[in-house]
Amino acid sequence: MGRLSGRSAVITGAGSGIGRAASILFAREGASVVCADRAEGVNDTVKAITDAGGKAIGLLGDAGVDAFVKSCMDTAIAEHGGLDVVWANAGISGGFAPLHEQTADYWAEILRVNLIGAFLAVKHASERMIPNGRGSIICTASVAGIRSGAGGPAYSASKAGVISLAQTAANELYGTGVRVNAVAPGLIETGMTKPIFDGARARGNEDKIGQLNPLTRYGVPDEIAYAGLFLASDESSYVNGQTIAVDGGLSTSHPVVRRKR
């Protein structure tokens, strides 16, 4: 029996990176998965699951749009018989434009996807979980949301909001049996971080990627997926309102090379 045997899960941002790794892992552990993403890669994630004998459905849409998020939850119930786990993982980085060059629209889009998208997942998932008296909601935050030095201003602010959302939502859902937690990845090789990795490899500096954390290396999506699996499973039944940093120890100090303006 898998750790999620017989359970139904929704994972956003499932078309690549952490979302794909989590979808495949959850399915391998017995969950029936609704994989959501605005990129066509979500279909490849579903194929990888079904080819391995798992159960998955792919939905194309924007995780920052209310109606689409609601449809993901409703699809899980209609097609998989319930809703036990939701991982609000979809996000965008926005790049590293200097603060004085950023606009309100730029900030609004990052907050819409990263923070409002997580809020919508919590809202619609919890509404459907409360009648059953249980459920696990996971949000992808970032070490950038813990303190400065790991991301741009808008991205960092959005992820700090996700950390606060996990805390406040856990308390809003007091007594319901529904848990809300977050995972804060460090430097993970995904599509979002591709420019960092491509640049380092072009310069011949790949061995220096991740050197600022105590493990002196970067992480891979599976390492974040396993943290999410813990939060999705009954093994974390007394974990609520928390943010688990999976970052090689980076957030213990966040050393950073300063850039002069």
The answer for residues whose C-beta is within 8 angstroms of residue 162's C-beta and 6 or more apart is: 114, 115, 118, 139, 140, 141, 142, 145, 182
What is the rounded distance in angstroms from the CA atom of residue 85 to the CA atom of residue 126? 10
User: Hey, how many other C-beta atoms are within 10 angstroms of the C-beta on 43?
Assistant: 14
Please confirm, yes or no, whether 238 is among the known catalytic residues. no
CA distance 32 to 228: 16
What does DSSP assign to residue 143? G
Cα dihedral 181, 184, 189, 194 sign? positive
Residue 115 sits at the vertex; the CA angle it makes with 4 and 183, to the nearest 5 degrees, is 40
Give the separation between CA 181 and CA 179, rounded to whole angstroms.
7
Residue with token string 């400065």: 148
Exactly one of 155, 174, 218, 238 is catalytic; name it: 155
Catalytic residue ranges? 155
